[in-house]
Amino acid sequence: MPGIDAIIFDMDGVLCDSEPFILEAAIQMFRETYGVEIAPEAFTPYVGTGEDRYLGGPAAEAGVSLALPRDKERTYHIYLELIVGRMPALPGVHDFTAAARQHGIKIAVASAADRMKVDGNLREIGLGNDHFDAVITGSDVNRKKPAPDGFLLAAKRMGADPARCLVVEDAINGVEAALAAGARCLGLSTSFAPERLQAAGAHWTAPNLADVPEPLVRVLGFA
């Protein structure tokens, strides 16, 4: 198995557990803007696809005509208020990214979320943009996950061969995007069960970055 020169991290469910907060913000936005109550499970199929689809899918099912980007920006404003002091980095994030740095492995973030949300998340978990070799957001690509565009752009910005990249993902759409990019994938079971991540094609699974499986630790050279 070829070595790994770069690691590309999804944001939500990988570096931080933002899903409960963006869900709460989206439900609140629909309630205050359109007077409709959207069930939490209506958002599940759109996890990891970017907020246009995350909001647009449930809206279409409820017969609501979204006003974008206005409704998305309102959702983000609610979200950024909700996360203050309430959203630490997930277990292992700081140690794992530091270990990658120490071993000469480049690191990037590639999220389907817009810049506004990504910057707010990184700020809240204590990792600035300058901690990474590249930060790609949904604002930087036309096609969102499961298309591989974000991961391919991250690899390009780092000067890395996608085949020598590890993508860390938590969503089915993200695992599919990683494989479409030609990268290997570590699936974190923060949003979906390990079995579903494996069925989507994840090469390894783990509960979080503090408990990475030993075979992957050896591939990375951390052991």
> Which residue numbers are catalytic?
10, 12
Residue 75 contacts residue 29 (beta carbons within 8 Å): yes
Rounded Cα distance, 66 and 177, in Å: 26
Query: Does an H or E element contain 25, and which?
Result: helix 19-34
The DSSP secondary-structure symbol of 112 reads S
Rounded Cα distance, 130 and 143, in Å: 25
Q: What is the DSSP string of 129-179?
A: GGGSSEEE-GGG-SS-TTSSHHHHHHHHHHT--GGGEEEEE-SHHHHHHHH
Q: What are phi and psi of 90, to 5 degrees?
A: -70, 160
